[in-house]
Amino acid sequence: MIELRISKKDFDFLKNHLLEKGENEEAALLLVGVCKIPRKLILTVREVIPVPNSGYQTKGSVFLQVDPEFLAPVIKRSRYENASIIIAHSHPFSYTRVGFSGIDDSGEEVLIPKLRQRVPDRPHGALVFGTHSINGRVWVNGENFSRSIDIIRIVGERVEFIPTNGRELENTTFKEMHHRQILALGGECQKIIQKMIVGIVGVGGIGSQVFVQLVHLGVKRLIIIDDELLEESNRSRVIGSRPEDVNQLSKVGIMKRYASDANPDVEVYPVEGPIEHNSVVMNLREANVVFCCTDNVKSRVVVNRLAYQYLTPLIDTGVEIQLGRQARKIRTAAGRVMLIHPDGPCLECMGIISGEALERENAQKLGTRRGTYITGGQHHAPAVVSLNGVIASLAVTHFIDIITGLERDRKPNSYRMYRILNGSVQGYLMEPAVKCTLCREVRGYADDLSLPCILDK
């Protein structure tokens, strides 16, 4: 299977350039990152380079030819930056199902071998846009024929799926257990929910409740990552845990058992290990959405980069409870749910992660076994199952919104803050706190750039 991922902003820019200039064909070049996993090739769009009117040798309603003088520096750049190239052009006369013409075939028989010679050991491809459909193909290393791009995934505040080559999303069957859910969300939404691949980093207090809700929603494939055994102090908030699990069963093992009892159709891929290890985080590359439900900065550094390099929407969650200095009483408490996507600010832009925060976390861990959110305290981080549950439910509802646009009155680029003491949930605009350029510099690089991980021993 071949999947092309592109940010919503880049997709709209590309489509407008190709189809909104009149009746003539238009073209653009895409610089693309590559992710190779078993049985799947994922291509991630780094940049869209539109071809201006001066960049054509010939352009008409049924034929165009890009000037080699325009192509040359782009090819040189792709070789220097180790990027694949996808050539996109339009067929504005195709109103339903679009396909490559004989002229397209002839042109690519000349151009693709040149690309493969000048930028070797990388896949290169082509896209053609009609007014209501897209077709695509890729030439993979070592093969003298093209393979079809199966699906285009558009990532922004929403995640959209466009099957290419006239395909439709595969038919699926619904269980009676989801009947009332389908009444609320619709069959098309349920179909997409059941096709989603979702990753969860951390299946403790918040993560276990996110996992349980996704299982009951009908998500069929879940990749869960945690490196801890269940401890007695975890049992009050890890859903599905049993007394005999303490110090015997991992948190991911508990979740897998829960899913097999609740919905045997769910495929759970448990990964025991720290997300900071390269072999662990690599399991998330295929995910369509990732939830971050950990309590530390180091893990967020990794998943934040993953979100931008692989164009994967990230739903980041957290609860902070601060106690009074005298009595064991909550002084202030809040929870947060924030969507990170390639067109918006990252966790570093928002001030959630930083070098200073990482240093404080490391200093805390030198003094205690685990970091803590408590200001000025030496206790383990306090937690209450119901407060975690509110944040988990807000996060899963945001997941539904990504697919369906359920929260149609929510302001774009906003996040939710649950203020526990007054019981309010408020939305705030995601306004960057610092000038971070890293998220833009790594966007769409996929496997072509290493994540900030510890290499496995």
Q: Please name each of the domains of the chain with its CATH number.
A: 2-163 (3.40.140.10), 176-441 (3.40.50.720)
- Does 378 have pLDDT greater than 60? no
- CA angle at residue 12 from 8 to 16, to 5 degrees? 175
pLDDT tens digits along 167-216: 665 667 888 998 999 999 999 899 999 999 999 999 999 999 999 999 99
DSSP SS3 for 59: strand
pTM assigned to the model: 0.92
Helix (H) or strand (E) holding 322: strand 314-323
pLDDT interval class at 390 (50, 70, 90): very high
Supply the pLDDT for residue 328. 66
Give Cβ neighbours of residue 140 (< 8 Å, ≥ 6 apart): 41, 123, 147
Supply the pLDDT for residue 358. 73
pLDDT interval class at 252 (50, 70, 90): very high
pLDDT tens digits along 409-441: 888 889 999 998 898 999 999 998 888 888 889
d(CA 156, CA 341): 6
pLDDT interval class at 35 (50, 70, 90): very high
- Does 379 have pLDDT greater than 50? no
Mean pLDDT of 337-350: 94
Mean pLDDT of 59-76: 91
Mean pLDDT of 93-110: 89
Supply the pLDDT for residue 367. 58
**Residue 15, Cβ density class (10 Å: 0-12 exposed, 13-18 middle, ≥19 buried):** middle
* Lowest pLDDT segment from 131-140, 233-242, 350-359: 350-359
Antiparallel, parallel or unpaired: β 267-272 and 221-226: parallel
Supply the pLDDT for residue 26. 94
d(CA 260, CA 215): 10
d(CA 355, CA 297): 9
Maximum C-alpha span of the chain: 79
- Does 375 have pLDDT greater than 70? no
Supply the pLDDT for residue 122. 95
pLDDT interval class at 21 (50, 70, 90): confident
Share of residues in the chain with pLDDT > 70 (%): 94
Six-digit token pair at 54? 């001066």
Antiparallel, parallel or unpaired: β 56-59 and 159-163: unpaired
